[in-house]
Amino acid sequence: MQLNKIPATVVTGFLGSGKTTLLSNVLKQAKGKRIAVIVNEFGELDIDADLLRSCPLECEDDAAQMVAGDAENGIYELANGCICCTVEEEFLPVMQQLVARRDDIDHILIETSGLALPKPLVQAFNWPDIKQYCTVDAVITVVDGPAIAAGRFANDEERVQAQRLADDSLDHDPSLQELLDDQLSAADLVVVSKNDLLSDDDQTKVAAVVNRIVPSEVKTAYVSHGEAELDVLLGIESAAEERIDAVHTHHDHHHDHGEHHDHAHDHFDSFVLRFGDVDSEKLQQQLKTLIAENNIYRAKGFASLPGKPMRQVFQAVGKRLDVHFDRLWQAEETRQTQLVVIGKDLNEAELKAALAQAEVQPA
Ligand SMILES: Nc1nc2c(ncn2[C@@H]2O[C@H](COP(=O)(O)OP(=O)(O)OP(=O)(O)O)[C@@H](O)[C@H]2O)c(=O)[nH]1
- ipTM for the assembly: 0.99
Length of the chain counted residue by residue:
363
Orientation angle between helical segments 200-213 and 174-185, nearest 10 degrees: 80
Topology adopted by domain 269-356? Hypothetical Protein Yjia; Chain: A;domain 2 (3.30.1220)
- Is pLDDT above 90 for 135? yes
Residues contacting residue 108 through CB under 8 Å, at least 6 positions apart: 6, 7, 8, 9, 35, 36, 37, 38, 98, 134
> Which among 361, 358, 353, 360 is positioned nearest to 285, based on CA atoms?
358
Residue 138 near residue 236, CB atoms below 8 Å = yes
The ranges assigned to domains in the chain are: 6-264, 269-356
Q: What is the pLDDT of residues 98-125, one digit of tens each?
A: 999 899 899 999 999 888 888 989 999 9
User: Is the shortest distance between the CB of 62 and ligand 1 below 6 Å?
Assistant: no
User: Is the shortest distance between the CB of 197 and ligand 1 below 6 Å?
Assistant: yes
* Interior angle at CA 143, CA 173 and CA 255, nearest 5: 60
Which range has the worst mean pLDDT, 180-194, 208-222, 240-254? Answer: 240-254
**Residue 18 Cα, ligand 1 centroid: separation in angstroms?**
4
Q: Looking at ligand 1, which atom is closest to the CA of residue 23?
A: 15
Residues contacting residue 7 through CB under 8 Å, at least 6 positions apart: 107, 108, 134, 135, 136, 137, 234, 235, 237
C-alpha dihedral sign at 151, 49, 275, 265: negative
Report how far residue 19's alpha carbon sits from residue 42's, in angstroms, rounded to the nearest whole number: 13
H/E/C letters for each residue in 23-58? HHHHHHHCCCCEEEEEEECCCCCCHHHHHHHCCCCC
C-alpha dihedral sign at 162, 167, 168, 172: negative
Decide which of 327 and 70 is more confident. 327
Which of 10, 12, 14, 20 should be mutated for ligand 1, with most atoms under 8 A from CB?
20
Amino acid 146 reads P
The DSSP secondary-structure symbol of 64 reads P
Q: What is the pLDDT of residues 269-279, one digit of tens each?
A: 889 999 999 99
CATH code linked to domain 6-264: 3.40.50.300
- Is pLDDT above 60 for 59? no
User: Is the shortest distance between the CB of 196 and ligand 1 below 6 Å?
Assistant: yes
Q: What is the pLDDT of residues 145-175, one digit of tens each?
A: 999 999 887 654 444 455 555 554 444 566 7
